[in-house]
Structure 1
Amino acid sequence: MRDGMNSNWKVIFDDRNRFFWMLQCAGWFGYALVHYIGSLMHEMRDIYVLVILLGAYAGLLLTLPLRYLYRRIWDSSPWQLILVVLVASYLSAAAWAVIDNATYWEIYKFGFRPESNWFYFKNTIAKFYIMLSWSGLYFGIKYYQMLQDEKQKALMATSMAHQAQLKMLRYQLNPHFLFNTLNAISTLILIKENDLANKMMSKLSLFLRFSLDNEPIKKIPLEQEIEALMLYLDIEKVRFDERLHVVIDIDEEVKRALVPSLFLQPLIENSIKYAIARMEEGGRIVIAAHQVDDDLLVSVTDNGPGCPTPARELIERGGVGLSNTRDRLQALYGKNYSFTLTDNDPHGMRVEIRIPLEQIETT
């Protein structure tokens, strides 16, 4: 029963037009009720109830044009909004006062008129404050609804971020990597290299925890990203032993630059799979980061056999490592980034990423 009532209220709140009319009718009914209660303090004839109802009905009708006017000027500057609200409220109040005075003096006073015009002006000012209050409530409720919409969007973005995180883990920590790592640990245990197996398991645990703790929509310092990469590379070094050489060349001034979490790991994995693993004598991976004007330039270079496929085609069809990284950069930076894949000199591949330089705030 209660769930049904909550569902009905949710339908009303979600339908903005229905919600407006519910508040509009309730508000003007309340206005009439307050006037009626106030009339009980004086000896008023029963016909005064009709005057009250006609006044409330006139107020309801006169606020409808205000609604459509405020919709049209919604995106105007604050000063323009204030000016339009003041003028529109006063004109509506003046029209309302004319209608109210006509019904009062014709219906209740049988055509009698006051000697002074001060009464008309005072009535207009009183109704101006009511119209101004109506306008304030309209803007207040409208802004509140916009705030609720933003909160709803934030909740949806958070939900999508968690889904993106799961996809990131599925792409970046693919089954081959986990299978090879666990198989290497099992081999180490069989040959009684328990200390090394325990060390490898600890690094795998730390790397997995880092992946779970850092959502893909958040950015982390570059030095923290490199620390996570070293955990991953230390695991791979157990598999490749001395065949894998890693060089880190990071300028001191960009170590605290903000970057997407684990955005380099798929590129490193790609280099290991297509370069290091195919060379019997092993190979080298160089990770470099420097500041170029107001941007951060990050590169991943290997000295593998390279790839005969054109770079653009390789990005489009090469899947997981390259296209996933490019898509993440596009989602985070829009058009304000570059992602290039070129041949390395004398051989191998080179991936360059250029993004805006954002430094972490220090306290």
Structure 2
Amino acid sequence: MIQWQKLYENRERLFWTLHTAGWGGFAIVYYIGSFLHDMRSIWLFVIVLNAYSGWLLTIPLRYIFRWARQQNVWRMLLTVFGSAYLTALAWAVVKNINYWEIYKHGYRPDEWYMYFQNTINSLIMVVCWSGLYFGIKNFQMLQKEKQNALKASTMAHQAHLKMLRYQLNPHFLFNTLNAISTLVLMKENKTAEAMVSRLSDFLRYSLDKDPIKKVPLQQEIQALDLYLQIEKVRFDERLSVTWDVQESVKQGLVPSLILQPLIENAIKYAISKMAAGGQISIVAKSFGKDLLLEVADNGPGADIEKGQLHRNNGVGLPNIQERLQSLYGDNFSFTIAHNQPTGVKVSIRIPFEVNEDANQH
């Protein structure tokens, strides 16, 4: 299969292979068809010689047709049919000479135009050769256009995924920098230094991870922990986080930073709205052959209609849905529901996938 693929991609080698195979097939079929006519080796020699002359005479057609394809329709048709007819005429003469000189031992026709007899048969063969040439060329052109369209679609798909992934809420960065500035003014340099270090590690993770690729859940948890430690400096005791992650799913692959916007929303719309603070619960567990991820808060809740939140200027949740759609097609679920007794719970179900390299260790 790989050898055929290499042959197809090498246009020069493909032409010579098909060209030779075609004329070789002509010789075989012609000999089998005229087997009862003559079984002597001299007849086989004439057939091989005719096939070889056809092989030679049709080679220039390749370069003539290559030029003709760059012309307008009428000039192309005139060039193709004119060159095909002249080639057929020349091949008819060569075949007649081979037949008379070799098979008939030097026979000479009475009239000169007899050399051009059976031109129609030669023309049919040359036209078939021309048809196959243009058919293969058009097929190659369509395949190339299909590959280019697929490549363009893939590049656009990847660019779209990257745009969605990097369209994170800038409020987090502004709030963190303001918190660091406040800590510096309050002379809490060690806390500020730790916060800068965590922010650096989190931003490095968010920029280094390719949005097209998936990462093990364990790495995602570590990045989310960095993010939450930064937020805990701002909210102190007002932010409480509980983790419920099954050990068996930690190597499961997830889109990078797929949960970060959900946690950010919980902090913005739940924790920050409660004077006494609140709790965020993060769950990851197996669900049949799928991986179930949940982020829930115990905040004041929100208006939910038909599984959609009614909030203004929110890009986090639509981005998550678009990323999941791009990565998994229809094989995922994304649901938003009321948490019990209060708050909002967001659930994501995706296929449970594991990196093959992880299985080998």
Shift of 1:190: 0.6
Q: Is the 8 A contact 1:311 1:342 kept in 2?
A: no
Q: How does 1:99-114 map to 2 (within 5 A)?
A: 102-106=92-96, 114=103
Matches within 5 A, 1:1-363: 55-56=57-58, 102-106=92-96, 114-115=103-104, 142=140, 150=147, 154=151, 157=154, 161=158, 164-169=161-166, 171-172=167-168, 174-310=169-305, 312-314=307-309, 319-361=314-356, 362=358, 363=360
Is the contact made by 1:105 and 1:113 (CA closer than 8 Å) also made in structure 2?
no
Q: Within 1, Cα distance between the matches of 2:351 and 2:220?
A: 17
Inter-partner Cα distance in structure 1 for 2:98 and 2:329: 70
- Structure with higher Rg: it is 2
Letter paired with 2:329 = G
Q: How many residues align?
A: 270
Q: Deviations over 1:323-351 (max 9, x none)?
A: 11111100100100000000011111110
For residue 92 of structure 1, what is the aligned residue in structure 2?
none
Q: 1:331 to 1:316 in 2, by over 3 A?
A: farther
Partner SS, residue 246 of structure 1: strand
Corresponding position of 2:43: none
8 Å contact 2:246–2:284 — kept in the other structure? yes
Which residue in 1 is equivalent to 2:22? none
Residues of 2 paired with 1:58 and 1:189: CA distance? Answer: 81
Q: CA RMSD of the aligned region, Å?
A: 4.4
Deviations 1:118-173 (A, max 9, x none): xxxxxx9xx9xxx8xx98xx59x949x9589758855874576356435533x32x
The aligned counterpart of 1:31 is none
Structure 2 counterpart of 1:9 = none
How many Å apart are 1:319 and its aligned residue? 2.6
Instruction: For structure 2, list consecutive stretches of 5 or more residues without a partner in the other structure.
Output: 1-10, 20-52, 67-86, 106-121
Deviation track 1:229-270 (CA, whole Å, cap 9, x = no partner) reads 111111110110000011111101100000000000000001
SS in 2 for 1:358: coil
Cα distance change of structure 1 residues 185 and 54 upon mapping to structure 2, 3 Å threshold: closer
CA gap 1:184/1:104 in 2 versus in 1, 3 angstroms: same
| Contact in 2 for aligned 1:55/1:99 (Cα 8 Å) | no
- 2:253/2:354 contact within 8 Å kept: yes
CA distance in 2, matches of 1:52, 1:340: 69
Q: Is the 8 A contact 1:315 1:323 kept in 2?
A: no
**Cα distance between partner residues in 1 of 2:340 and 2:55:** 87
Q: What is the TM-score normalised by the length of structure 1?
A: 0.62
Q: Could you list the per-position Cα deviations for residues 83-113 of structure 1 after superposition, in whole angstroms to 9, with x for gaps in the alignment?
A: xxxxxxxxxxxxxx9976632154x579657
Q: Once the two structures are aligned, what percentage of the paired residues are identical? A: 45
* Counterparts of 1:101 and 1:113, CA distance in 2: 16
Could you say which residue in structure 2 is the equivalent of 1:39?
none
Structure 1 CA distance, aligned partners of 2:226 and 2:314? 24
* Conservation of the 8 A alpha-carbon contact between 2:258 and 2:320: yes
Contact 1:258 1:359 in 2 (8 A): yes
Distance 1:215 1:105, change over 3 A: closer
Distance in structure 1 (CA, Å) of the matches to 2:299 and 2:146 = 51
Query: Any idea what the Cα deviations from partners look like across 1:16-64, whole Å, max 9, x if unmatched?
Result: xxxx9xx99xx99xxxxxxxxxxxxxxxxxxxxxx98993389769x99
Q: Which amino acid aligns with 1:223?
A: Q
What amino acid sits opposite 1:114 in the alignment? Y
Letter in 1 for 2:92: A
Distance 1:222 1:110 in 2: 78
- Quote the Cα distance in structure 2 between the aligned partners of 1:283 and 1:309: 20
Could you say if the C-alpha distance between residues 339 and 159 of structure 1 is closer, same or farther in structure 2, counting changes exceeding 3 Å?
Answer: closer
Distance 1:205 1:222 in 2: 20
